[in-house]
Structure 1
Amino acid sequence: MHASFFEYHLWANKLVYKHLKDLPEDVCFQEVQSVFPTLYDTLLHMYQSDFVYLNVIKGESFEKIVAAVNQLKEENPERSLETLEKSHDQLGDKYREFINTLENLHANISVSHPSFGTLTTSYQELLQHVVNHGTYHRGNITAIMRQIGYKGVPTDYIFYLYETQK
């Protein structure tokens, strides 16, 4: 993996937000029987997970990350899609800034979790996890959209490659 693969993740998220803003406003909050109860809740989970992993990659403690995630829930009490998108965009900028400070994406980092123990892995592998996690949940979003009668937007990596080649 290279840093541009992470750019794919940000591109795909942006595409999903753009697509959802073109649909009726209530679509994001329509309840369904799925992995998450609404499209908005899926996006919120994606944002919170991206937030967690940026802090993990930066070496923050588990306790500090948990406290910060609890505070995130208070950032957008009106559950605005626009506010969530802006937060996601700002988080993407923070990832870019951090990635640009790394001399070697293959360098090892140790991550401690109270239940899972200590994992020694590379920055690259953690970033790959973030991208993979996002891809999985963008698939959930497409499935939810089909369930409520709308088409999803193609976010496969190949479409990113075609678009960035232009």
Structure 2
Amino acid sequence: MRIEKELLACHLDYSRWATLRVLEAIAKLPPERIAEDRHSSFGGILGTMTHLFQADRAWYHRCLGESHYPAKQEGEVFDFAKLKAEWPTLLANFAAWLRAQDDARLAGTLFWRSFMGEDRTERIDKILLHVVNHASYHRGQLMMLVKQTGGETIGTDLILYPGI
């Protein structure tokens, strides 16, 4: 099944909007709450945010042709300020890359090496839907963690996105 570029762009724009909303909600928390280990799949808020940012960044670089781009860069340390500063630019660049592609490219395949060291190939349009779905999943976790810390949650459902 071929997925049209405009639909992919809409979903990637939605994902950017939702992620920026989550960053706004998390920014209202005290720094110690952001950093604390809440024993979730990636520790807590900061760990989950870091995982999601690294995944978004790896997929972006893979789409640029860097098939062996690692999720974790040697010596890199994350805090909320770094994520809040770098993530919006990454997401904007990813959306711009998508809009610069033609339909044939998006229907083509991409080779990459997974984080487990496996060589993989998949259609680019399917990868882009995965990027959006992966982000939605972890944004849900982040909102749960924000609520557990006593913070205010916000809606990020697609139905709330004003861009459609």
Q: TM-score range by the shorter chain?
A: 0.7 to 0.9
Residues 53 and 120 of structure 1: is their aligned pair in 2 closer, same or farther, counting only changes over 3 Å?
same
1:107 corresponds to: 107
Residue 156 in structure 1 maps to residue 162 in structure 2: no
Distance 2:36 2:155 in 1: 21
Residue 87 in structure 1 maps to residue 89 in structure 2: no
Aligned-residue identity in percent: 24
The answer for unaligned runs of 5 or more in structure 2 is 1-6
Contact 2:14 2:158 in 1 (8 A): yes
CA-to-aligned-CA distance 1:10-44 (integer Å, 9 cap, x gap): 00110011111122232211221211212011111
The amino acid of 2:73's aligned partner reads: N
CA-to-aligned-CA distance 1:72-105 (integer Å, 9 cap, x gap): x52xx4x431221111011112212211210116
Distance 2:27 2:14 in 1: 20
Candidates 104, 119, 122, aligned match of 1:120: 122
The answer for unaligned runs of 5 or more in structure 1 is none
More divergent stretch after superposition (50-59 vs 104-113): 104-113
TM-score by length of 1: 0.82
Once the two structures are TM-superposed, the CA of residue 117 in structure 1 deviates from its matched residue by 3.6
TM-score by length of 2: 0.83
1:6 corresponds to: 12
Higher helix share: 1
**Runs of 4+ that moved beyond 3 A:** 114-118
2:30 corresponds to: 24
Name the SS for the 1:31 alignment partner: coil
